[in-house]
Structure 1
């Protein structure tokens, strides 16, 4: 399908806003006629949506907080004992 045919078959919806943003996501995936407008990219960023090929727009913290590993609540050997006591499972 050519770009012109895709545009003919998929007119840009104006309302609701979600349809407008969704159109731009589909457009970027199938058509390379022009870049996505900056205002649309900002709106997608506000929603937490990262568009293909624009991972540099992801908001990633400079450092991740150190978290201690979660301690297991099971006692050593408890899982094996529970599995052996329910052989029909």
Structure 2
């Protein structure tokens, strides 16, 4: 994976995960090497999952309500483009 103690970025993790999958699919590995790669792949998938969850949490839009107060609104609850989104920002 990445340097010891350094959490890879999403892009680094997904790239390495793809390489691990290719190596496992290629076959010809000893059982020990395959298990080592499988364990690395599981950890990489967890890193990717955590990165995606963090990104989802950050995808919120700052909106202003009728009283002028600012609030965070999840993007999933926002009207689609062209549906009269009256975002006051």
Structure with more of its chain in helix, by fraction: 2
TM-score by length of 2: 0.28
TM-score by length of 1: 0.28
User: Structure with the greater relative contact order (CA < 8 A, sep ≥ 6): 1 or 2?
Assistant: 2
Larger Rg: 1
